[in-house]
Amino acid sequence: MKVLVINNDGGGFADYMELDENTTVTQLFQKQTAGANSGDYLIRVNRQPCAADQVLQDGDRISFTPTKIEGAESQRYALPRQLSQ
């Protein structure tokens, strides 16, 4: 089956992939992200949140968007910057 995979991690990309029938969201995520924690990503199928065990269908649109960006400073805990005078 053919699906569109959108990876918004880093530079991001979108491309069609051929997958085996009965491939689940988890199987595709593990294949595409090489050991990343799925809890650090917003994963959607056809623009809707999905279950990890959802079986993908021909023509599905799957997106992986990181919710944690390494090196980014949390605004909640950031110290105010002093203005130069």
Q: DSSP assignment, residue 24?
A: B
Does residue 77 surpass a pLDDT of 60?
no
21-71 pLDDT tens trace: 999 999 999 998 888 888 888 999 999 999 999 999 999 999 998 887 666
CATH superfamily of 2-66: Beta-grasp domain (3.10.20.30)
Two structure tokens written together for 67? 């919710």
pTM, full prediction: 0.74
